[in-house]
Structure 1
Amino acid sequence: SGRIDKAYPTVCGHTGPVLDIDWCPHNDQVIASGSEDCTVMVWQIPENGLVTGMSEPVVVLEGHSKRVGIITWHPTARNVLLSAGCDNLIIIWNVGTGEAMIQLEDMHPDVIFSACWNRNGSLICTACKDKTIRVIDPRKEEIVGEKEKAHEGARPMRAIFLSDGNVFTTGFSRMMHEMDTSNGVLLPFYDPDTNVVYLCGKGDSSIRYFEITDEAPFVHYLNTFTTKEPQRGMGYMPKRGLDSDLFQDDLYPDTAGPDCAIEAEDWFEGKNGEPILISLKNGYVPGKNRDLKVVKKNILDNKLSKNAENTSPANKSASSTPSIKNEAKLEEVLKEIKSLKDLVSSQEKRIIQLEEQMSKIAI
């Protein structure tokens, strides 16, 4: 039925509604979330799933001044995460250190509707409320291409990169000969292995498939999948999660695997890496996911990195004490030790004075 138990454990840490989530492509247990509370949180789910509710993320990323509506992981570099907020700001984070490495300011005069990495993660394309599509080199912090009035309509549009470097957009126009005439915002999901785009919309009850080719009209209608109930939300699952005994090479060519091509530090230094592909012919056997550890560059994070390692949501016991309480207790103990030292020092002075008085009396 698709229903779950009402008492099913949940991940609850944000103080406002969650607006976007994205599973890490290089760790099936790690998920990032953006919220109206202006924060980004990264969570590590236990390998066997949630047994109890989770309320403490591995790391909280703070840098936006308004709600965060877009979250997307880098396709080939480990621990690189992009977030975009209603403050018209794009931040690229190194999740491994919890740092905001790149901030793309003053590039978007209005709300950002979508942001998408290209195949190797060297560029991003964005759709903005000002009706302009921008292609940005995030490490150089410059716009390398833009298209004004990509769609005439004022309603939200979306833009995604195709594997050949072209940009595919959806939006609204006065003409009604487009892919879909529904009122909902069309959300494109792209399969780079087969060059197929799936279009669906909130409130719609159909999903349309189109193949992208080099021949006019370039976007070719394939089929429509219809459901009885309208769609409320959509997501795209990695193909390695398919549970099927049938396999056809032409339908399932090699696809991106869970291994990253480069580390975060390499990417921020200017290196690029293509996705590491795997074959699904003999099925996919998941390997052991390593724990996400956050190591910040300041001394205060000694405690935090241990917290990420020992009391991360995946390993945390119900009896563990939050680090803030530990800090308060430590400060209390230090104050007591200091007061005891002061007391001992004053008593020593008093003893010396009494000894001097006794020696005078004895004489």
Structure 2
Amino acid sequence: MCGATSEDGGALRTQYNVHRHVRGTTPLLDSIVVSIQACQATFYGVQIAWDPCSIPGRGALLNIRTRVKKFSCQQAHSNWFGPSETLFRLYNHRKGTLKEIDVHKNVSLISVSFISNRRVSMSLSKKPRESKYRHLFGTPFQPTECINGVKIGSVQLDANPVKANGRFLAVPWALTGTVAVIPLSHKGSVHPEHPLILQEDRTVNDLQFASTDDNLLATANSDGTVSFWRIPDGGYEQSPAAPEREYKVSEKRVMNLSFHPLASDVLLTADAAKSVQLWDVSTGQSRASLPDHQAAPTSFCWSADGKLVASSCKDKKVRLFDPRASSPLVASAEDHSGVKGAQNTFVGKQGEPELLLTAGSSKGTDRELALWDPRSFGKRLTTVRVDTGSSHLFPYADRDLGLVYVAGKGDGNIRYYELGSDEPMLHYLNEFKSKDPQTGLALLPKTNVDAVKCEIARFIKVSPNGLATSIRFEVPRRENSFFQDDLFPNTFDRKATTNADGWFSGSDASPHYISLNPEK
């Protein structure tokens, strides 16, 4: 069943091709086209199970859906159509003839029965957009392959508490001021006496693994300090006595952390006083600051080359910075208008210019995504409505393939989109669905995927029941006995290409790339 909608002069026009067995006075009829020409048209006996979520532009359809549902409850078994001011166009495919029937003059000609106990799926009749990722699907690992007993403590509403890299999972633990670091190789329940990072009399507001060092974890603390923890290769066997180093970076609570993607020992911090600074971790010195935040920042991200930083803020603005410039603020723009704090990430595909993606909400309850061009930052390139919901959205970028994954805190699904030059530039592909909501989610590095099985992404999801589940995303291929190089371009090896002193002095070293081909 296919449909298309448009609005013209206040009158809603909707057309559906209903491929159903039809009985009555037209036994040879195998398709009915119904054209609704007035907004006040009413339905009699229409038993169609709508699937509005599968129809782009579904806002107009919801009005019809409400009328159909309302009347169907009153006369669920009527076989007769009797809409007001409506023509039914009956098209006989076998004879190639089109017949218009005015129901007020020819009611007896229209006695039609629909199969109504099945869910009818509708989509636009236009040809689906071609994409090698159109059939991308997600599969959770078996429970026996997962980590159980993960006890996440209280966290900020607009924060994602789950952090992971290629080797470890880290979460704020149930006991205030503690953090658990669990090797990804662990299977089964976490021991009740699992070693914890203990910090008495203070809470942990954020935690981040270093971008270029899997064994270094930083925690943002409520007393204005940032602690750096060196994790043994196999994880902690006992609780560490003290951090490797710790710096006092503010008189207020430290709320956000973000490591530079390429330069070792470069860390961004943001505190509750709206102060944003960049530090040389090796010396504990503040080397730069990002002014002009009028409210608390909610999200930061670095461009892939580490030259730019973007911030989303509770003043509903998105800002772009060049941290090493004499005037760091490059541009700012009005971000999502909703009250929920926005999240951001740079997105793109290897060899193509990067864009900035923000995830937030409208003034209502619509959750949405927006794309921005850093080279022309004043106006959004596009806005894509996701759904209606109250939880925060978190975007995750695959910068090798130009894909974006979007998950809501408390949701059970993960949507995925593909970037493209054609409108709307961010194309919905599909979604992974689960009945288990996610307390937090982390995208693992590309080096963790199984390229032989055409697995292009892997997430680790922690649910309220304490289960940390790995989810693999695969592109189905008929033949996977050879390496699919179109799915696996060379990827960033996550090794530092410069240090803090070099970067703050203006050095920009290119990232190193490695092949995921297991035979190389």
TM-score normalised over the length of structure 1: 0.73
Task: Tell me the distance in 2 between the aligned counterparts of 1:125 and 1:210.
Answer: 21
Task: Tell me the distance in 1 between the aligned counterparts of 2:222 and 2:293.
Answer: 20
1:222 and 2:411 correspond: no
Q: From 342, 361, 375, give the equivalent of 1:172.
A: 361
Counterpart residue number, 1:128: 313
Q: From 323, 326, 337, give the equivalent of 1:138.
A: 323
Deviation (angstroms), 1:100: 1.8
Contact 2:262/2:494, CA 8 A, preserved across alignment: no
Q: 2:192 is aligned with what amino acid?
A: K
* Equivalent residue pairs, number: 282
Counterpart residue number, 2:508: 272
1:203-352 to structure 2, matched below 5 A, reads 203-242=410-449, 245-246=452-453, 247-282=483-518
Q: 1:54 is aligned with what amino acid?
A: P
Larger mean Cα displacement after TM superposition, 33-42 or 197-206: 33-42
After superposition, the C-alpha distances for 1:101-149 in whole angstroms (9 at most, x for unaligned) are: 22334x101110111111111110001111111001111242111112x
Task: Tell me the distance in 2 between the aligned counterparts of 1:55 and 1:241.
Answer: 31
Task: Tell me the distance in 2 between the aligned counterparts of 1:67 and 1:31.
Answer: 18
Counterpart residue number, 1:192: 399
Higher relative contact order (CA 8 A, sep 6+): 1
Unaligned runs of 5+ in 1: 285-363
RMSD: 1.9
Deviation (angstroms), 1:245: 4.4
Deviation (angstroms), 1:217: 0.6
After superposition, the C-alpha distances for 1:323-347 in whole angstroms (9 at most, x for unaligned) are: xxxxxxxxxxxxxxxxxxxxxxxxx
1:73-112 to structure 2, matched below 5 A, reads 73-105=259-291, 107-112=292-297
Contact 1:116/1:159, CA 8 A, preserved across alignment: yes
Q: Percent identity?
A: 33
Deviation (angstroms), 1:14: 6.1
Task: Tell me the distance in 2 between the aligned counterparts of 1:44 and 1:23.
Answer: 10
Contact 2:277/2:286, CA 8 A, preserved across alignment: yes
Equivalent position SS for 2:247: strand
Q: From 47, 60, 66, give the equivalent of 2:246.
A: 60
After superposition, the C-alpha distances for 1:336-363 in whole angstroms (9 at most, x for unaligned) are: xxxxxxxxxxxxxxxxxxxxxxxxxxxx
Q: 2:507 is aligned with what amino acid?
A: K
Counterpart residue number, 2:409: 202
Contact 1:13/1:55, CA 8 A, preserved across alignment: no
Equivalent position SS for 1:265: helix
Contact 1:75/1:275, CA 8 A, preserved across alignment: no
Counterpart residue number, 1:356: none
Task: Tell me the distance in 2 between the aligned counterparts of 1:276 and 1:70.
Answer: 27
Task: Tell me the distance in 1 between the aligned counterparts of 2:303 and 2:451.
Answer: 29
Contact 1:13/1:57, CA 8 A, preserved across alignment: no
Equivalent position SS for 1:69: strand
Deviation (angstroms), 1:283: 7.5
Counterpart residue number, 2:199: 13
TM-score normalised over the length of structure 2: 0.52
Alpha carbons of structure 1 residues 69 and 180: separation in structure 2 relative to 1, 3 Å: farther
Contact 1:42/1:58, CA 8 A, preserved across alignment: yes
Equivalent position SS for 2:194: coil
Contact 1:74/1:81, CA 8 A, preserved across alignment: yes
Alpha carbons of structure 1 residues 55 and 100: separation in structure 2 relative to 1, 3 Å: farther
Deviation (angstroms), 1:214: 1.6
Contact 1:113/1:127, CA 8 A, preserved across alignment: yes
Task: Tell me the distance in 1 between the aligned counterparts of 2:399 and 2:225.
Answer: 31
1:30-49 to structure 2, matched below 5 A, reads 30-49=216-235
Deviation (angstroms), 1:17: 2.3
Q: 2:229 is aligned with what amino acid?
A: W
Deviation (angstroms), 1:262: 1.4
Task: Tell me the distance in 2 between the aligned counterparts of 1:55 and 1:145.
Answer: 44
Task: Tell me the distance in 2 between the aligned counterparts of 1:84 and 1:229.
Answer: 32
Task: Tell me the distance in 2 between the aligned counterparts of 1:243 and 1:218.
Answer: 29
The structure richer in strand per residue is 2
Alpha carbons of structure 1 residues 243 and 15: separation in structure 2 relative to 1, 3 Å: farther
Deviation (angstroms), 1:95: 1.1
